[in-house]
Structure 1
């Protein structure tokens, strides 16, 4: 009986040692796994400012783009301003070829326009050819400036104050992520040649989620104070071949 008990005692002792040896590496593996979890934490998701920076680079790299601009809530008592514009432009050099619908001296007109090499050529109503003029003479911005890679439309993105993510929406086959913020009046006036420099303007960008192209830019504020007006710009055909030459 004593011999049998001794045999059982040795058997359990050997079993206990074996279990201990098996448990040690498992515990070590568990510790290693915990260390891996700590050291491989995911980076924070991109912020709205990060997405605007990305969209800025995408637009600059495109080199050319098609633009459509439309104004709403425009005042009737202002003699000269842009109602809408459509055309294509390049960034190097900044240039534009399209049509501007404007109120000129109280009369609305569609004005075929070419802006290149610092010169502005317009085909005014009842004039058979383009004539060279200055934006200040017409009370409108130089449309070529919109495509300048530093001070043009793309230059508004890094000047956006307190950008935040807004709604997501579908526009045809594209999903747009809205980013909201404000723009200093000086930046808006320098670009669009209208507005109160001392005021802030609300801005809403629509960025395409797949490639972070800027698809829409909506700017609202005192373009013609005291009225609040809105200009919406739509950008597409990124990188399409565009050639702008003086007439």
Structure 2
């Protein structure tokens, strides 16, 4: 009869214990893996960062806008709050065929503008100027931040530079209804391409570029740049 040396017996028992500890009970070896965040995960994270900020500075610029259109927004710049949704800044628009810089205040569903050659602000309705209520862009549920979770098939794009920062691009598409409900222009039946620029580590949304049939059949782009997250902003009626 051949005896197994004791050191070999000890090694065999140790191997059995190790296998038993690693087994999930079905005979399979359990492995731990760490999955890298997806583009959808980063958009969700960026949405939370933007909502938590509560205030932000916004700069909007339109490109490839059709000259034949009579009224549309060309650019905008100002500060906004989310609670309540409000905006104070300047909107550059084409109004009845004339381009003008219009100081604007929007708060509590009311809109005040200082039209060209007018010494004071006047209260008006966005529909009268054929523009969206700029305060609606800052609504934490249905505003610009609300587009992030509606982005379809988000994918990581390239890295790009925005000023001194390097951002990670996330591309996708937005339903036409989501765009037209927010901006009051565009073909609701068509998808719009969107590219977000997210600042790595902080995951702030730095840029949002939306391209599509804002004024069909033309294809135009509106690019929004967001910064000054969480800085004090006070919007009051003129």
TM-score (normalizing by structure 1): 0.88
Q: For residues 16-41 of structure 1, what are the alpha-carbon distances to aligned partners after superposition, in whole Å with 9 as ceiling and x for unaligned?
A: 52332442344246536754994351
What SS is found at the alignment partner of 1:78?
coil
Residue aligning to 1:224: 215
The counterpart of 1:80, out of the listed 71, 74, 82, is 71
The counterpart of 1:128, out of the listed 119, 143, 146, is 119
Unaligned runs of 5+ in 1: 1-12
Matched, 1:20 2:8: yes
Between 147-156 and 43-52, report the one with greater CA deviation: 43-52
What SS is found at the alignment partner of 1:224?
coil
More helix by share: 1
Cα distance in 1 between the residues matched to 2:110 and 2:7: 88
Residue aligning to 1:101: 92
Cα distance in 1 between the residues matched to 2:159 and 2:97: 39
Q: For residues 206-232 of structure 1, what are the alpha-carbon distances to aligned partners after superposition, in whole Å with 9 as ceiling and x for unaligned?
A: 111111111110000011111000000
Shift of 1:170: 3.6
Cα distance in 2 between the residues matched to 1:67 and 1:149: 15
Matched, 1:117 2:99: no
Which structure would you say has the larger Rg?
1
TM-score (normalizing by structure 2): 0.92
Residue aligning to 1:58: 49
Question: RMSD in angstroms over aligned alpha carbons?
Answer: 2.1
Cα distance in 2 between the residues matched to 1:117 and 1:170: 36
